Amino acid sequence: MAQKSHEKGPTGGVPAMTEPDRVRNVVLVGHSGAGKTTLVEALLAATGTIGRAGSVVDGTTVSDHDPAAVRQQRSVSLSCAPLLHNGIKVNLLDTPGYADFVGELRAGLRAADAAIFVVSADGGMDAATVALWEECAAVDMPRAVAVARLDQPRADFDEAVALCQRLFGDNVMPLYLPMLGDDGVSTAGLLGLITRRVFDYTEGLPADVRDPDPQHQPAIAESRNELIEGIIAESEDETLMDRYLGGEEIDTEVLIEDLEKAVARGHFYPVVPVCAATGVGLDALLEVLTAAFPSPLEHELPAVTGVDGSPRPPLTCDPDGPLVAEVVKTTVDRHVGRVSLVRVFSGTLRPDLTMHVSGHGMAERGHPDHDADERVGHIYTPLGATLREVPFCVAGDLCAITKSGSAETGDTISAKDDPLLIAPWEMPEPLLPVAIVARSRADEDALARNLARLVAGDPTLRLERNPETHQLVLWCMGEAHADVVLDRLRAGGVELDTEPVKVSLRETLTVPAKGHGRHVKQSGGHGQYAVCDIEVEPLPRGAGFEFVDRVVGGAVPHNYIPSVEKGVRTQLERGLVAGHPVVDLRVTLVDGKAHSVDSSDAAFQTAGALALRDAAERGQPALLEPIDEVRIRVPDGSVGTVMGDLSSRRGRVLGTEPDPEVEGRTLIRAEVPATELLRYAVELRSLTAGTGTFRRHFVRHDPMPTHLADQTRKEQTP
């Protein structure tokens, strides 16, 4: 692809676009440490968007403005960084590469129309990146590959390309080859395969374009032939291949046009070598972003319905159409307040407009359904944490709005008089629980406020207040995600601690038993008198509780029988041994005694509870633990390791089958005690090099092994 002149925009901001065809929304993906953030910084500096590139190590980059990212020296959240090149606005969406922050990655994919896969020339590639490529392929998302970190000692461009071709497919082909400098090690320029020209960066940007040296000709010729054959194979002109094989020289402009069409359709994936430190390849990559990647007009838009679920016609990317936008990300800035990154799909978002904000379908994650009308204040173009005010945001573009009282990540913004709802994107389930405790009453209030802000912005974070264990539990994606959440809470002025997560257990009796409850007291005036005899027998798992009245002869007056049942139920909730609710029992009231004056509702409630506790002493109580069914997706090569690990967790494998969604992966179904799954989100990732995923749901309670039950009783007996 020919490189054009390098245009620099005004430092500090990019103007609002008036037409969707002048916008490109591009998400950068790749494993942690591949160089995504450094590449974004270099592109911003190269286009004059910022005066000088920052450093990840120094915490001065545009993308990693989050304090947690600065501390950890890695991206932990989605960041938007627009730039201007050849009159085209490119919204670069920098995403975290670590698996714990997959929610931020999902948000970036939702907002983007194309993806740059950043691959390190010296670091290989993780399996999660390969899985993401396959996911993009399923929806024909246009992709390109940037081979970064060419300045590293062990960098090998050819090996990186071979790896991409092996993992991504044959249509991954370089447009340029790196040209070594005079020292034979550093990358001084690029060899253009289509134009057969050398782009020399010895003097920096823009590159000096010249004819290749004789020693470059063989490499160019060999790689150029492969590239041209790949482009022609995707061409819509069926005569082109015959003409090429017949020896005809295909015009460069024809090749570039066919290349751009194939890339935009998501059928061809150009590779560009880039070195952020020296500027090598930055202008070449910018040309791919602006000339080959599609505008929002060419991208299929998400489906919409009325807020009541009624069908609506498909959206079109029309600035004059009905307003439909989506909150891609929400953060809370201590100075500005709530900041929402918004992708406008249809219509035009303007200041002072009354918008309707809808959020549905996330109640299980702590996001109750909500609908509200709000006035749009100012509209901004975000550059990391910096907000630059703009007069409007048209369909296809990204912007930021502030001070919305209800907008949360994933919410739909539409017109007040025609509220709509966008189908939500898929979010992974958080599976690592972390129990937190505020250190003081004042911290409890601050904790509640800060948690509300975090949950509003992070759909992968689930908040649970367990009524049985009385713990406040944050369900996170992994340890790194949990660390960031805790950091943000503490940065908000909350003093807190973590504690071991408790699993909600149950108790039951394993053999039939009889119980006698006698509550007789006399202390002047009316006394208390109630006697009842019960028989207790275990029921099958999941049967619950049954109360049976078999009293004869009026030994217990009819009006006091519900009191006995109430006392029994109260004791069941309190537990019999370790304070856990009791389940799967039948309690039969068989006899009792009453007093004409001293008997009462309260007395028979107490007698019923005493009778059950008496029966428990002979009923061989047992602890029951929750059993979850897990569905685990792993690469075929990890099946044996994962199944062995399940056995060590007292798991029972129910079966395996090929994953119907992804080739080369296996679906394992098993039943595992919930107590063995508290850290499984972390440990499965370790067992499968980050590629294993799982889902879980409760199925029943089963008896806990005796040695574990004894240990639990010692730890939890009130």
Residue at 584: amino acid letter: D
What is residue 1's predicted lDDT score, i.e. its pLDDT? 54
Q: Provide mean pLDDT across the span 537-551.
A: 93
Question: Cα Rg for the chain, rounded, in angstroms?
Answer: 32
Q: If you write DSSP's letter for every residue of 268-287 in order, what string do you get?
A: -EEEEE-BTTTTBTHHHHHH
What is residue 141's predicted lDDT score, i.e. its pLDDT? 92
> For residues 534 and 377, which has the higher predicted lDDT (pLDDT)?
534
| Cβ pair 200, 278 in contact under 8 A | no
What is residue 7's predicted lDDT score, i.e. its pLDDT? 40
Handedness of CA 691, 697, 702, 707 (dihedral sign): positive
Q: Provide mean pLDDT across the span 456-475.
A: 89
Could you read off the pLDDT of 168-193 as tens digits, one per residue?
A: 988 999 999 999 887 777 888 999 99
State the alpha helices, DSSP H only, in 617-665: 639-648
Q: Provide mean pLDDT across the span 473-486.
A: 93
pLDDT at 453 over 70: yes
Q: Provide mean pLDDT across the span 141-158.
A: 93
Tokens in use for 577?
A: 């041994």
pLDDT at 144 over 90: yes
> For residues 191 and 1, which has the higher predicted lDDT (pLDDT)?
191
State what percent of residues in the chain have pLDDT above 90.
63
Model confidence at 716, in pLDDT bands (50, 70, 90)? low
Cα–Cα nearest to 112, from 86, 141, 139? 141
Coil, helix or strand for 475? strand
Cα–Cα nearest to 700, from 577, 544, 547? 544
Q: Omega into 273 within 30° of 0, i.e. cis?
A: no
What is residue 9's predicted lDDT score, i.e. its pLDDT? 41
State the angle between helix axes of 157-168 and 127-138 in degrees (0 to 180), rounded to the nearest 10.
50
What is residue 366's predicted lDDT score, i.e. its pLDDT? 65
pLDDT at 649 over 70: yes
Distance separating alpha carbons of residues 556 and 550, to the nearest angstrom: 10
Average pLDDT of the chain, as a whole number: 90
State the alpha helices, DSSP H only, in 211-251: 217-233, 240-245
Out of 108-117, 415-424, 655-664, least confident range: 655-664
| Cβ pair 357, 411 in contact under 8 A | yes
Tokens in use for 411?
A: 């919410």
Query: What are phi and psi for residue 172, nearest 5 degrees?
Result: -90, 110
Could you read off the pLDDT of 705-715 as tens digits, one per residue?
A: 988 888 877 76
Half-sphere exposure of 582 (CA within 13 A, CB side): 33
pLDDT at 555 over 80: yes
Q: Provide mean pLDDT across the span 294-303.
A: 92
DSSP at 222: H
What is residue 639's predicted lDDT score, i.e. its pLDDT? 94
DSSP strands (E only) in 351-404? 354-359, 370-375, 379-383, 386-390, 393-394, 398-402
Cα–Cα nearest to 86, from 47, 141, 117, 144? 47
Q: Provide mean pLDDT across the span 632-647.
A: 94
What is residue 525's predicted lDDT score, i.e. its pLDDT? 65
Model confidence at 690, in pLDDT bands (50, 70, 90)? confident
What is residue 589's predicted lDDT score, i.e. its pLDDT? 96
Q: If you write DSSP's letter for every residue of 55-84 in order, what string do you get?
A: -TTTT--SS--SHHHHHHTS--S-EEEEEE
What is residue 524's predicted lDDT score, i.e. its pLDDT? 63
Q: Provide mean pLDDT across the span 76-80.
A: 92
Q: Which residues pair with 653 in a beta bridge?
A: 670
Expressed in angstroms, the distance from the first to the final Cα of the chain is 74
Out of 10-14, 249-253, 672-676, 691-695, least confident range: 10-14
Task: Look at the block and give the residue holding tokens 């709530």.
Answer: 338
Out of 61-75, 412-426, 502-516, 562-576, least confident range: 61-75
pLDDT at 337 over 80: no
Query: What are phi and psi for residue 205, nearest 5 degrees?
Result: -90, 145
Model confidence at 248, in pLDDT bands (50, 70, 90)? confident
Element containing residue 711 per DSSP (H, E): helix 706-716
Q: Provide mean pLDDT across the span 36-45.
A: 95
What is residue 5's predicted lDDT score, i.e. its pLDDT? 37
Cα–Cα nearest to 568, from 608, 537, 532? 608
Coil, helix or strand for 350? coil
Tokens in use for 432?
A: 């690592």
Residues in the chain: 718
Q: Report the predicted TM-score, pTM, of the whole model to 2 decimal places.
A: 0.86
> For residues 11 and 34, which has the higher predicted lDDT (pLDDT)?
34
Q: Provide mean pLDDT across the span 254-264.
A: 92
pLDDT at 10 over 50: no
Task: Name every residue whose Cβ is closer than 8 Å to that of residue 670 and which is 6 or more positions away in sequence.
Answer: 629, 630, 632, 646, 651, 652, 653, 654
> For residues 519 and 332, which has the higher predicted lDDT (pLDDT)?
519
Distance separating alpha carbons of residues 34 and 120, to the nearest angstrom: 5
pLDDT at 475 over 70: yes
Integer CA distances (angstroms), 501 to 389, 448, 471, 575, 634, in order: 46, 19, 8, 20, 27
What is residue 158's predicted lDDT score, i.e. its pLDDT? 93
| Cβ pair 429, 695 in contact under 8 A | yes
Please classify residue 249 by burial: count the beta carbons closer than 10 Å to its beta carbon, then call 0-12 exposed, 13-18 middle and 19+ buried: exposed
Model confidence at 501, in pLDDT bands (50, 70, 90)? very high
Q: Provide mean pLDDT across the span 48-71.
A: 86
Task: Name every residue whose Cβ is closer than 8 Å to that of residue 554 and which is 6 or more positions away in sequence.
Answer: none
